[in-house]
Structure 1
Amino acid sequence: MTILCEPAARAGQLSPALGGEVRVVETLGEASRLLSTDPLESLVVVGSAMNLDEALTFTEALRFEQPSVGVVLLRDVVDVVVLTKALRSGVREVVARDDLASLVDACARSRALSAQVSVVPQPRFTEHRQGQVITVFAAKGGCGKTTLAVNLAAVLAAGGERSVCLVDLDLAFGDIGICLRAEPVRTIVHGLGMLGHVDAAGASSLLTNCRPGLSALLAPVEPGDAERVPAGLVTELLEVLPTMFDFVVVDTPSAFSEHVLAAMDASHHHVLLTTPDVPALKNLRVTLDMLDLLSYAHDIRSVVLNRSDAKVGLTMDDIDRVVRSDIRAHVPSSRDVPISVNKGNPIVLDQPKHPVSEAIARFAREHVLAEPAVVAAKSKRWFR
């Protein structure tokens, strides 16, 4: 069922394109009243006769009150200004009024997204406990950071006993969606209109349901969108998401930034990944020194050595001399890992008895689930 907000004289052309039962109203107030009486409604099409500012105000309120309801906005002229304002307010799609084919597609996508939002775990506020935030970081690209983050999240969510949210903070080149074959209909950039007042309902509207117990907050997909996401939005989301999930696993880019530091600040656990090669080990050493300078606690760090069995001329003694920190997990190399990535199915789920899967599961069991959660102290960013 769909609510079409448009004067009756103009609604006749649009109703057939929407399919199914369409309820036509002439004001946004009437649309609000219908929504309040029908919890199953999932789509409102706001016609081009509606005032733009009023339509955006309506959408912003709806996003927090009923995040599973999507709004598709029709305009006589679609330009950059309209698109920017609409997306910031939470409008799912903007379509030219006369483009009926695009309207049909937009409505189908919105309904599919509403179905996903409705199965995202609902906020579970507790007075005494919040979920843990785990940030996975490697200062050198190509170490397998995203693969580790995805598989760690999948292990924690396995069996459906725990709820997990995977956050893709590699805003420019994030691959979480690809690794999980998740359609990036909504991403973190759609939370821009919530800045300053992010709550659980708003955060839920940004999430993509990937598997039972596992949801994801995906990175932007459009060029230039990464620069639009402020670190303040990351801070707010990482305050709200732990009230909704048992674990929040954050995948990061391979460089320190305000966004990464915001995640580090919110974290109960820093998982620092490296591989047995000199550039990666050097960058890990720099990372550890940087975290010391910023006064992050040592006891929330875990160094993980990926491709630990690679024969590259370095011994474990060589690695220990550079790292000067306990290595809590040794993950072997295997061609099965990129195969699992290409399939869009984490290896810990696809092959739970695989040596890589067992290493990641052991790390989760011994150093995430078994250890008490202590949130990181705020960093001393005196260098800014």
Structure 2
Amino acid sequence: MDPADAFETQASVGGEDIIAPLPRITLQAFCETPAISAAMQTAVSDRRMDKAHTRVQMGGPAAAVEAFRSAPTPNVIVLETVSDSAALVASLEVLAEACDAGTKVIVIGHVNDVQLYRDLIRRGISDYLIAPLGPLDILRSLSELYVAPEARNLGRTIAVMGAKGGVGASTLAHNVAWAIARNLDASTVIVDLDIAFGTAGLDFNQDPPQGISEAVFAPDRLDANMLDRLLSRCSDNLALLAAPAVLDRTCDLSEDAFDQVFELLRASVPYVVLDVPHVWSAWVKRALIGADEVVIVAGPELASLRNAKNLIDLARASRPNDSMPRLVLNQVGLPKRPEIDASEFAKALGVEVLTSIPFEAQIFGTAANNGQMIAEVQAGGKINEAFVQIASAVTGRGEAKRGKRSLFEPLVAKLKRRRA
């Protein structure tokens, strides 16, 4: 199988297409019905529209014609129309005279008319959507304006963060990445975002001379070739972007410090697991909100419950069009420790507990000290089954049969193929 075909197959197995974030564009929408206006407002407030400068107003095509008689047009115009085909075409002809070169137009209509669709496309309209529409329908159409057809199967980012320090979120992130790569047979990169104290290198028994700090602190030099050199191979399907775990500099990073790294990785491999440290800063918030899947790891005690609730409330407010974060209880059954039952935990947070992982000091300690994954210490145990369950949930894939041939190829080869 060609690596590009492998990427496409893996990225789409989950049954949910991944909508790419939009670049820095200007957009104005002119609606005629409250339902489309509400859907448009929800769409432009989505996390994938963070870089776009948008404005939603009423009035339809007539309002758009009036607005741009003497004003420059934005990068994208969205028009809703309830008028007949002739009136719409007449408005578009007037609008075309005012449109700047490169302006893209999406029309939302209420009639399923193939002839009208063909006529609009022939006139240079970018897309014709039929109401009723949801926010994701609008987002998908907008995203496809700026994503090349060969790059639409973007990788899925999975952010893993602990509700409290010391609950084992990094260990879980590393083992879930291992399960995606080994049990689901999918090319995966794990990114250790804890630049000063990251443990991914230790857990995988790797000591790479370079890692994520070279990418973050020299963004002007970062490209696919450089990123490929920074990766350390852990197995056939798994690569690591390690943290240096040294204190030679402080890590006061900007909000968008990791954006370029994430974009390059998402364009190159099906799954990117982010090991997010337990700190709170602008870039951490951005990484969580911008991920396709969020996993919150909590201990069965009060502090984790409070912090997990805060994170889930943030996700509800900031990610209304995404699935809720997955909640995992870790270190369950610690001897002599009073614990909050999983059902009570779930009831308080309003989300289901995906799985509970028992406290097994011997197994986890052995794996950590030997630089191994749990599957390498105890392949058939319930703990490893829990990691596979999490991997299946966040990818939407079932466990795959192991083949002889690796699907993982260098990142740079895939990007070069797309650019050619």
Which residue of structure 1 aligns with residue 310 of structure 2? Answer: 286
Aligned: 1:162 with 2:178:
no
Deviations 1:336-361 (A, max 9, x none): 11211111111023322111101111
Q: Does residue 254 of the first structure (1) align with residue 278 of the second (2)?
A: yes
Give per-residue Cα distances to partners, 1:207-238, cap 9 Å, x unaligned.
Answer: 11122211111113331434265443311100
- CA spacing shift, 1:211–1:363, aligned 2, 3 Å: same
Is 2:352 aligned against 1:352? Answer: no
Report the Cα offset of residue 297 of structure 1.
4.3
**C-alpha displacement of 1:199:** 2.4
Q: CA RMSD in A?
A: 2.4
Q: Give the 5 Å matches for 1:220-299.
A: 220-227=244-251, 229-295=253-319, 297=321, 299=323
Distance in 2 of aligned mates of 1:129 and 1:324: 32
Looking at structure 1, the residues matched to 321 and 329 of structure 2 have their Cα atoms a distance apart, in angstroms, of 20
State the partner residue of 2:154. Answer: 130
- Matched letter for residue 189 of structure 1: S
User: Helix, strand or coil: the match of 1:205?
Assistant: helix
Instruction: Find the counterpart in structure 2 of residue 314 from structure 1.
Output: 340
Q: Partner of 2:151: helix, strand, or coil?
A: coil
TM-score by length of 2: 0.54
For residue 251 of structure 2, give the secondary structure of its aligned residue in structure 1.
Answer: helix
| Matched letter for residue 241 of structure 1 | L
Q: 1:246 is aligned with what amino acid?
A: P
CA distance in 1, matches of 2:320, 2:155: 20
TM-score, with structure 1 as normaliser: 0.59
Q: Which residue of 2 aligns with 1:337?
A: 364
Asked if the contact 1:207–1:215 (Cα under 8 Å) also holds between the matched residues in 2, the reply is: yes
Alignment partners' CA distance in 2, 1:271 and 1:197: 32
Q: Is the 8 A contact 1:163 1:213 kept in 2?
A: yes
Of residues 177, 200, 206 in structure 2, which corresponds to 1:182? 206
Q: Determine if contact 1:168/1:219 at 8 Å carries over to the other structure.
A: yes
Residue equivalent to 1:370: 397
Alpha-carbon distance in 2 for matches of 1:294, 1:236: 21
C-alpha deviations, 1:139-195, integer Å up to 9, x for none?
Answer: 310111010000000001116832111100112211111111111310212124641
Structure 2: how far apart are the matches of 1:227 and 1:128?
Answer: 33
Q: State the secondary structure of the residue aligned to 1:331.
A: strand
**How far is 1:280 from its partner?**
1.1
Matched, 1:152 2:179: no
In 2, distance between residues paired with 1:327 and 1:234? 30
Q: Distance in 1 between the 2:183 and 2:375 partners?
A: 12
Q: Deviations over 1:26-62 (max 9, x none)?
A: xxxxxxxxxxxxxxxxxxxxxxxxxxxxxxxxxxxxx
Point out which structure has higher relative CO (alpha carbons under 8 A, 6+ apart).
Answer: 2
Structure 1 341/193 Cα, relative in aligned 2: closer, same or farther at 3 Å?
A: closer
Q: Distance in 1 between matches of 2:317 and 2:220?
A: 30
How much identity, in percent, do the aligned residues show?
24
Aligned partners of 2:371 and 2:292: how far apart in 1?
28
Residue 345 of structure 1 aligns with an amino acid whose one-letter code is Q
In the aligned structure 1, how far is the partner of 2:306 from the partner of 2:176?
Answer: 25
The secondary structure found in structure 2 opposite 1:211 is: coil
Give the Cα separation in 2 of the matches to 1:185 and 1:223.
Answer: 15
Q: Note the C-alpha offset of 1:318.
A: 2.9
The answer to whether residue 351 in structure 2 is matched with residue 325 in structure 1 is: yes
Aligned residue identity for 1:185: P
Q: Which amino acid aligns with 1:359?
A: A
Letter in 1 for 2:246: E
Tell me which moved more, 315-324 or 327-336: 315-324
Residue deviations 1:81-136 (CA, integer Å, cap 9, x gap): xxxxxxxxxxxxxxxxxxxxxxxxxxxxxxxxxxxxxxxxxxxx943301111000
Query: Residue 171 of structure 1 contacts residue 226 of structure 1 at CA under 8 Å; is this kept in 2?
Result: no
Q: How many residues align?
A: 247
Q: Secondary structure at the match of 1:185?
A: coil
Inter-partner Cα distance in structure 1 for 2:266 and 2:310:
29
Distance in 2 (CA, whole Å) between partners of 1:146 and 1:257 is 18
Q: Is the 8 A contact 1:268 1:300 kept in 2?
A: no
- Structure 1: any 5+ residue segments left out of the alignment? 1-124, 372-384
Residues 261 and 198 (structure 1), Cα distance of their counterparts in 2 relative to 1, 3 Å cut:
farther
In 2, the alpha carbon distance for the partners of 1:228 and 1:155 equals 32
Query: Quick check: 1:234–1:262 contact (8 Å CA) kept in 2?
Result: no
> What SS class does the counterpart of residue 282 from structure 1 fall into?
helix
Match of residue 223, structure 2, among 199, 204, 214 = 199
Q: Secondary structure at the match of 1:299?
A: coil
Residues 1:135 and 1:182: Cα distance change in structure 2 (over 3 Å): same
